[in-house]
């Protein structure tokens, strides 16, 4: 543990105060450089700090660089009513599983942050907050890391910056009447943030449907552009659907074992909610019971005119097909295992669109705000290492790239469905830490 103690002492001596904004270039005269560390972890979220926890266990000297404050996205990039959509029992950080009194509940934002902070405090990682990494590049047998705290070098580097860097907003958004407010789901906090009037929510992934629900609860008129996202049951036959899926081994299937890896890697997460103890999201019910106006996928914007594709019925049917498919898998498992579980009636759609509305006038409908909930793109422009394919996506096997000593962690389907989530981050980070430790030991023997 001596190496980690030295790293923690060094971090305490040089760590700058974190800031809410991006780190800025410091006065180079105030920075000693270069510095060397055996392992550099870039990203101070749950993925990066999980790797750090396992490196501490192995006594490997390392530093974690975090551009903002630890767990920044959980603190800053979530709306007020945000909560987990997977149950609390799936929170399994290294040596720090969920320890509350509601394992089947769904932690709200502030409780998640508290859980994460207590995890970090449990082992005091060698963390540098408020330090931005500008560039990572090969430097002979090491990696050169250019930061706002000077130039560092490392024998091994772990990229734990995640894949949610750049909010996606289509180019035609610039053609919308500027009098209509636009914001991305990352910047949405609460209904009162929006001007009086109706709101158009674009996208039906987990963020879009939960923000729609938040607005409906506040009595706002909501219009929604429905994309092809699948949906999932919440409670089914006496248990949460995720409990059934866990017992069925669904979350243990690796990307190498998946029958359709391309689909798994590209598919949007199934939508449902953890609010009020866990709720199913059926857009048809919101249309029937709450007056939410549903349209197909957004196609274009020009001044006050907003256009949609004629695919609403198909997208709703596809979401229901996914929903019923999960129920069918659970039914088959219950029958196969001879489990005594209450029966439920078949799903019946409660609402159907009577026609395709392919264009609306935002002013006529009183739409004063648009919320974009169509996802993010990663930004790897700062990584000057040949580990990307022709589409700019990192290529790895369980996070291990072809470049010795370069790794990724915290991405979806790094190995299983739970990769990038609380459920499997311990397993993924332990796997990388073992590989890092073996390479570290070989390098020490070679000296």
Q: How confident is the model at residue 86 (pLDDT cuts 50, 70, 90)?
A: very high
| Helix, strand, or coil (residue 56) | helix
Predicted pLDDT of residue 371: 98
Q: What tens digit of pLDDT does each residue of 334-367 get?
A: 999 999 999 999 999 999 999 999 999 999 999 9
The residue behind tokens 């540098």 is 128
Kindly report the length of the chain: 447
* Token couple for 79: 């709306």
H/E stretch holding 202 reads: strand 198-202
H/E stretch holding 51 reads: helix 46-57
d(CA 62, CA 125): 9
Q: What tens digit of pLDDT does each residue of 228-251 get?
A: 999 999 999 999 999 999 999 999
Q: What tens digit of pLDDT does each residue of 306-323 get?
A: 999 999 999 999 999 999
| Full-model pTM | 0.91
Parallel, antiparallel, or unpaired for β 376-377 and 367-372?
unpaired
* Residues sharing a CB contact under 8 Å with residue 376, sequence separation 6 or more, in sequence order: 163, 164, 165, 166, 167, 168, 186
Q: What tens digit of pLDDT does each residue of 399-431 get?
A: 999 999 999 999 989 999 889 889 999 999 999
Is the per-residue pLDDT at 3 higher than 60? no
The CB density around residue 42, as the number of other CB atoms within 10 Å, is: 25
DSSP per-residue string spanning 94-144: TTEE--SS-TTS--BHHHHHHHHHHHHHTT---EEET--EEEEEEETTEEE
Domains present along the chain, CATH in parentheses = 2-165+378-446 (3.50.50.60), 168-375 (3.50.50.60)
DSSP per-residue string spanning 361-390: ETTTTTEEEEEE-S-EE---TTB-SS-B-T
Q: Comparing C-alpha atoms, which of 344, 85, 360, 49 is closest to residue 200? A: 360
């Amino acid at each position: 543990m001596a190496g980690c103690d030295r790293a923690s002492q060094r971090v305490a001596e040089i760590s700058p105060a974190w800031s809410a904004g991006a780190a800025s270039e410091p006065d180079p005269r105030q920075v000693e450089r270069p510095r060397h560390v055996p392992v550099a972890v870039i990203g101070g979220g749950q993925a990066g700090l999980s790797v750090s926890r396992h490196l501490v266990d192995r006594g490997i000297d390392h530093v974690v660089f975090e551009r903002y404050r630890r767990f920044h996205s959980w603190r800053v990039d979530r709306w007020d009513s945000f909560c987990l959509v997977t149950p609390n029992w799936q929170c399994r950080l290294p040596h720090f599983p969920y320890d509350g009194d509601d394992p089947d509940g769904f932690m709200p934002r502030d409780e998640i942050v508290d859980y994460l902070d207590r995890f970090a405090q449990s082992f005091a990682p060698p963390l540098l907050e408020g330090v931005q990494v500008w560039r990572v590049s090969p430097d002979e047998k090491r990696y050169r890391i250019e930061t706002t705290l000077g130039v560092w070098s490392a024998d091994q580097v772990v990229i734990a910056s995640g894949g949610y860097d750049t909010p996606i907003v289509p180019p035609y958004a610039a053609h919308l009447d500027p009098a209509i407010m636009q914001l991305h789901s990352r910047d949405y906090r609460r209904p009162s943030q929006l001007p009086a009037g109706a709101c158009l929510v674009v996208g039906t992934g987990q963020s879009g449907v939960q923000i729609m629900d938040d607005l409906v609860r506040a009595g706002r008129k909501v219009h929604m552009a429905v994309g092809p996202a699948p949906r999932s049951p919440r409670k089914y036959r006496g248990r949460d659907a995720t409990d059934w899926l866990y017992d069925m081994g669904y979350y243990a299937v690796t990307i190498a074992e998946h029958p359709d890896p391309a689909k798994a890697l590209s598919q949007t997460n199934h939508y449902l909610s953890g609010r009020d103890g866990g709720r199913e999201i059926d857009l048809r019910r919101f249309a029937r019971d709450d007056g939410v106006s549903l349209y197909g996928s957004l196609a274009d914007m020009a001044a006050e005119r907003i256009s949609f594709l004629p695919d609403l019925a198909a997208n709703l049917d596809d979401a229901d097909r996914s929903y019923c498919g999960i129920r069918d898998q659970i039914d088959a498992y219950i029958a196969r295992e001879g489990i005594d579980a209450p029966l439920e009636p078949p799903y019946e759609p409660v609402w159907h669109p009577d026609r395709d509305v392919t264009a609306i006038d935002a002013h006529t409908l009183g739409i004063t705000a648009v919320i974009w909930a169509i996802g993010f793109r990663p930004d790897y422009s700062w990584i000057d290492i040949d580990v990307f394919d022709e589409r700019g996506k990192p290529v790895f096997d369980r996070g291990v790239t072809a470049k010795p000593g370069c790794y990724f962690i915290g991405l979806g389907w790094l190995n299983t469905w739970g990769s990038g989530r609380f459920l499997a981050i311990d397993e993924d980070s332990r796997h990388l830490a073992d590989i890092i430790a073996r390479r570290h030991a070989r390098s020490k023997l070679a000296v």
